[in-house]
Amino acid sequence: MNKQPPKGSEARKRKDPPGSGNSSSNPSGGQQNNARTHKRAKLQDARQIRTQPSDAALKDGELDLQAFLSAREFEIRALESSMRKSKAASTTRAFQKVPRGMRRRTASHNVKRVPKRLRARAAKEMAEDNTPTVDARKRRPRTTRARIRAEMGKRLRLLAERKRKRVAKQSAGAEADGSKEGAADTASKPTVHTRAPKPKIRRNVPNEPPKPKSKFRKRQIDKTWLPTHLWHAKRARMTAPKDPLWRFAIPLTPNDKCYRPTHRATGDKGAVVWDMSYMSTIGLYGSEEGIGRVLVALGLPNQLFTDKKHQKWRSGLRKQSGMLSKERKGVRKDIGPATIIWNPETTQEAATEGQAKPPRRPQRQVFLRVHPSCFFEMINELTVLVKAQTPQCYVEDLRFEIGSIELVGPSSTEALLSVLHPYHTKADAEEQHAKVFRSLAGVTNPASLPPGALLSFSIMDPRLRSPPKRVQADLEDVSVSETLTKWPVTENVQPYGLFDRRARFQAGVLPSQKSLDRRKGVATPGTELGITARDPSIPIILFSSRPASGGQAQGSWTLMTPWKCILPIWYNLVKVPLSSGGNPRLGGLNELRQVAFEHAVPWFPGDYLGTDAGTEWELEQRAKRKADWERRPKGKRVAWESLDLGAGRKGEAGDGLACDFEHLFGLPKDALPKKGDEDLAILESDAEEDSMDVDTAKDADGKTKTKTKEKVVRQMSHESLSQIHRLSMSAFSTLCKAGNPKTNPSSPPHQTITVALTFTGRGVAGPCARIYRLPTQNPIVVLPSTQAEVPATPSQPGGGGVSSLPSDLRDQWLGRLSKSKTSHTNANTPYPPPRRIPADADMATRKKLVAGSILNPTGGPLPWPWETAQTKGNKIDIGGQHPLCPGEEDLIGFVTTGAFCLADGKGRAVGSIAVDKAMEAITFAKDKGKPGEGRLCVVRNAGESVGWLARWEVV
């Protein structure tokens, strides 16, 4: 009889290792022990502790002391032996001992995922129990692209081997011929020393990215790699290859679990480091007056150029950060935040200022460091402004000339001191800024430095001091306090080397790692390499920043240096042994947002919906949320139209997958283009199912561009959101201090402000959560009529009007504020009982609630729910616990970033609210004599009916 093939779980069982016996083919009945049986017996023997009964010590009712002690001695020795055997019996696998951050599931079948010290043991264990292992070389390609790539790699290897053999054969033939004539000709030819070409920097136009190596050129067609891309690609999740972010391949988050470690490293101990080379640097050159007029036109206050207290900034000793804007049709529109740094004047230029007629007007240089999402908008506006100046100024695109690294954490200063060694050939030639920097040992918070503190000096190649050593700080040294108080950086200030194009180019021509290894091999072990003529100096600019929230929050360090010098600095920075233990942690874009969120600082561009960059970010997030929502089955995704908000209201307010400011301000969200427009034809076109719905056209360069319905709809949404304007904190404060706080009629419509939300009690809000103000009017509730012949007018479900809401809704939410204050005193206090029996409770629940309320000595029985034929479907609360959310007339904004904050131990959020509705709430509270209630709000997550009380503050 033929045997049937195994089915189900039997076919998936792990096969026996080769050489093991099989019970069906073994005539002795399976007595031959295989490796698995031997290992099982070994483990069982190690886990069994042998004992002796105490009966042998009793003879005729008397205790034999010697026999009793011998039995106990035997048991103790057996216990010790078992402990030794169990330790050596391999009760744990090698992959179970990997560090906390590594993934154990991957390591269980791939020895390359196990640390090197455990790989031999892991390979032995996998061979013993026949674990199916992974070998990338033997893995068959599963897709057509992978198969073609594998075949191409095989062909390239064959071609390379043929070329190597051909070259070796030719060189061997030349040596055999012994052609002295050819050798003499070769020796007589002069040696030509070539140098790397300087990158071309064009004026008033954006520059092209640097030409990558031919090996990686194909992967950077539509994006640019950071200097540390290869290092990050092995340790972090990067942006998708076909979906770059801001024209760069940016690390999003490390592969390890890092949310809580990042919180601890940025606040308690350690440091987090980011490669911020994707930040754009723009050079502005011209006379000081012309540069001042350009910066004032970009929205900087005029006091920065006239007041004496800002003289240090204009002298290049401080940095200034602020929001830049542009003016269109008499209305200012924010572009994005920027950091502005002046280059100090030379001694000769400063001396000519005292003359009556200076021979030449001094030229000043300014760096503007902006976010890449608003780079093109910024440089286009700068180009228009500089061309209107007399004498004319000019701008340069320095995005790929200057890179940057950012550090946050108590050990950030220590890490920089371990890597940045000042460059000087003589002991007395050290720069003043370098001396100040070396005296900062012991600083645990960069925010303790003077506001806008800036240092600029030259450092040596970090590889000359590799590996970095731990910095020993003297805790009893008081010179740090004197340095922070006096901050002696005004003596002998020279122009910064990073502004010099030649210095940047020379710093990028670093010696190869092989040459440094040869020098280390010749030098005495343990000695540091000295500086030679081939070791260039690396100019840097180092400045500190403090969060706008103030308090004891950690500040940050930003290091600006030439683009090609980022990688050697980075390699040493991530290897610094910190005094608190470990090394600086890697941070990605998500960690950058996390730090800003914990500091209650809005993150650009995600929390700046009043800018074009923020609008683009919001539209991208909408598309991602919609794709995720559509990917879910209908039974597992939120049905927005059936959401029950209580009081007969059905459906979500606006689009549940977006911060729907179009719905809030009544802007046209899906308005059709004008008649005869190309976009209208695309929307009205009815294509077949198997054809692509595209429309091709050609741009000014002759390249074919494609338009789809999604792109047209996104463009229309961008036009609607671009009508929103962001109001600054100072302007809103001035508006609130006015006697009659109302928005100016001449101000642009649809103004918003960025706020930080702090929950008064429980509650966590996520992105797209709705923000309501407390009801500013008392709605009239329709009560059931006492006469059966004259029923009350039923409320229309889904009407959403104020007539269907409780009359004391505002008082209910204010009552939650008092309860949240008392709940902090005792965390074990039970949740307050419901004020009324829920209308949707069954009879058993109603009886239980009534009985409990009667037995409660502090309160009377609960009122019966208002549920009649007229009011059925209208809820006055949610489950008897939560008040209803206010109506759509009280909707004032949306949450852009929200989560549980580890710094506060409760929920926190950042969002944007409408200025006019916020001012109405503040005015209403002032008229009642309770101005503190004007900043209270109710936050409700999209797709949920429960709201949470919070307080907003402008940031």
Task: Read off the pLDDT of each residue in 370-398 and give the average, rounded to a whole number.
Answer: 95
Tell me, yes or no, whether 41 lies in a domain. no
β-pairing verdict for 320-328 and 331-342: antiparallel
**Domain co-membership, 369 together with 428:** no
Is a pLDDT exceeding 90 seen at residue 469? yes
- The band of 28, judged by pLDDT with boundaries at 50, 70 and 90, is very low
- 238's enclosing H/E stretch is strand 236-238
The pair of structure tokens assigned to 823 is 């709940």
Contact 428, 317 (CB under 8 A): no
* More confident call, 82 vs 32: 82
10 Å Cβ neighbour count for 523?
Answer: 12
Is a pLDDT exceeding 60 seen at residue 4? no
Is a pLDDT exceeding 80 seen at residue 195? no
What is the predicted pLDDT for the residue at 526?
82
Tell me, yes or no, whether 625 lies in a domain. no
- The band of 749, judged by pLDDT with boundaries at 50, 70 and 90, is confident
Contact 414, 387 (CB under 8 A): no
pLDDT tens column, 413-441: 999 999 999 998 777 778 999 999 999 99
**Domain co-membership, 550 together with 479:** yes
What is the predicted pLDDT for the residue at 105?
60
Out of 88, 110, 131, a domain closes at: 131
The pair of structure tokens assigned to 643 is 């959401």
Tell me, yes or no, whether 949 lies in a domain. yes
* More confident call, 16 vs 777: 777
Contact 374, 338 (CB under 8 A): no
Tell me, yes or no, whether 572 lies in a domain. yes
pLDDT tens column, 510-555: 999 999 999 999 988 888 898 998 899 999 999 999 987 666 789 9
- The band of 127, judged by pLDDT with boundaries at 50, 70 and 90, is confident
What is the predicted pLDDT for the residue at 318?
95
pLDDT tens column, 751-779: 999 999 999 989 999 999 999 999 986 55
What is the predicted pLDDT for the residue at 200?
85
10 Å Cβ neighbour count for 299?
Answer: 18
What distance in Å separates the CA atoms of residue 543 and residue 451, rounded to the nearest whole number? 10
* More confident call, 672 vs 129: 129
**Domain co-membership, 291 together with 418:** no
The pair of structure tokens assigned to 536 is 């260039």
What distance in Å separates the CA atoms of residue 933 and residue 912, rounded to the nearest whole number? 19
Is a pLDDT exceeding 90 seen at residue 123? no
What is the predicted pLDDT for the residue at 790?
37
Contact 130, 17 (CB under 8 A): yes
Tell me, yes or no, whether 136 lies in a domain. no
Is a pLDDT exceeding 70 seen at residue 495? yes
What distance in Å separates the CA atoms of residue 633 and residue 934, rounded to the nearest whole number? 42
| Averaged pLDDT score across all residues of the chain | 81
3-state secondary structure of 754: strand
Helix, strand, coil share (%) of the chain residues, nearest 5: 40, 15, 45
350, 766, 813 from 761: Cα distances, Å: 59, 16, 12
- Residue 12: CB partners within 8 Å, gap ≥ 6? none
What distance in Å separates the CA atoms of residue 652 and residue 354, rounded to the nearest whole number? 69
Angle in degrees, CA 375, 500, 357, rounded to 5: 105
The pair of structure tokens assigned to 632 is 């879910």
**Domain co-membership, 486 together with 390:** no
**Domain co-membership, 406 together with 547:** yes
248, 628, 719 from 242: Cα distances, Å: 11, 18, 26
Tell me, yes or no, whether 48 lies in a domain. no
What is the predicted pLDDT for the residue at 797?
39
Q: Which string of DSSP letters, residue by residue, matches 620-640?
A: HHHHHHHHHHHHS-GGGS--G
With b meaning 16 or more CB within 10 Å and e meaning fewer, what string describes 816-847? bbeebeeeeeeeeeeeeebbebbbebeeeeee
**Domain co-membership, 826 together with 918:** yes
**Domain co-membership, 782 together with 886:** yes
pLDDT tens column, 623-666: 999 999 999 999 999 999 999 998 889 999 999 999 999 999 99
Nearest in space to 405 (alpha carbons), one of 210, 593, 227, 209: 227
What distance in Å separates the CA atoms of residue 712 and residue 685, rounded to the nearest whole number? 13
The pair of structure tokens assigned to 35 is 């490796």
β-pairing verdict for 394-397 and 363-370: unpaired
The boundaries of the domain holding residue 246 are 235-270+585-601
* More confident call, 163 vs 357: 163
| Dihedral sign for Cα atoms in the order 928, 929, 930, 932 | positive
231, 368, 456, 908 from 275: Cα distances, Å: 11, 18, 19, 27
The pair of structure tokens assigned to 392 is 């004319």
Task: Report helix angle 566-573 to 412-419, nearest 10.
Answer: 120
What distance in Å separates the CA atoms of residue 385 and residue 395, rounded to the nearest whole number? 10
- The band of 34, judged by pLDDT with boundaries at 50, 70 and 90, is low
What is the predicted pLDDT for the residue at 699?
46
Helices and strands (DSSP H and E) totals, the chain: 27, 30
Structurally, how many domains does the chain consist of? 5
Cα torsion through 616, 620, 625, 626, rounded to 10 = 100
**Domain co-membership, 853 together with 745:** yes
The pair of structure tokens assigned to 737 is 């201090």
- One-letter amino acid at 351 equals A
Judged by average pLDDT, the poorest of 40-49, 505-514, 597-606, 685-694 is 685-694
- One-letter amino acid at 655 equals D
Tell me, yes or no, whether 61 lies in a domain. no
pLDDT tens column, 814-856: 988 866 665 544 444 444 555 566 656 677 777 777 777 777 6
Is a pLDDT exceeding 70 seen at residue 461? yes
pLDDT tens column, 873-905: 445 667 667 899 999 999 999 999 999 999 999
DSSP E strand boundaries for 660-769: 694-698, 704-708, 725-726, 751-759
What is the predicted pLDDT for the residue at 833?
54
**Domain co-membership, 260 together with 409:** no
Task: Read off the pLDDT of each residue in 297-313 and give the average, rounded to a whole number.
Answer: 93
**Domain co-membership, 409 together with 552:** yes
Tell me, yes or no, whether 144 lies in a domain. no
The pair of structure tokens assigned to 97 is 């001992």
**Domain co-membership, 575 together with 594:** no
Is a pLDDT exceeding 70 seen at residue 684? no
**What percentage of the chain reaches a pLDDT higher than 70?**
74
Cβ-based burial of 348 (10 A; exposed 0-12, middle 13-18, buried ≥19): exposed
Is a pLDDT exceeding 90 seen at residue 794? no
Contact 752, 609 (CB under 8 A): yes
What is the predicted pLDDT for the residue at 106?
59
Task: Read off the pLDDT of each residue in 578-606 and give the average, rounded to a whole number.
Answer: 95
What distance in Å separates the CA atoms of residue 774 and residue 816, rounded to the nearest whole number? 12
What is the predicted pLDDT for the residue at 32?
46
Task: Read off the pLDDT of each residue in 223-242 and give the average, rounded to a whole number.
Answer: 95
* More confident call, 273 vs 694: 273
**Domain co-membership, 239 together with 310:** no
The pair of structure tokens assigned to 780 is 């009239």
With b meaning 16 or more CB within 10 Å and e meaning fewer, what string describes 556-580? bbbbbbbbbbbbbbbbbbbebbbee
Contact 765, 895 (CB under 8 A): yes
What is the predicted pLDDT for the residue at 715?
72
Query: Alpha helices, DSSP H only, in 355-470?
Result: 375-387, 412-419, 432-438
Is a pLDDT exceeding 50 seen at residue 705? no
Nearest in space to 237 (alpha carbons), one of 591, 680, 476: 591
**What percentage of the chain reaches a pLDDT higher than 90?**
51
- CATH number at 300 reads 3.30.70.1400
Nearest in space to 112 (alpha carbons), one of 126, 91, 129, 92: 126
The pair of structure tokens assigned to 471 is 């910095």
Judged by average pLDDT, the poorest of 159-173, 347-361, 572-586, 795-809 is 347-361
The pair of structure tokens assigned to 497 is 């080397």
- One-letter amino acid at 599 equals H
What is the predicted pLDDT for the residue at 253?
97
Nearest in space to 273 (alpha carbons), one of 338, 340, 228, 336: 228
Residue 128 falls in which region: left (phi positive, over 0), alpha (psi -120 to 50) or beta:
alpha
* More confident call, 140 vs 75: 75
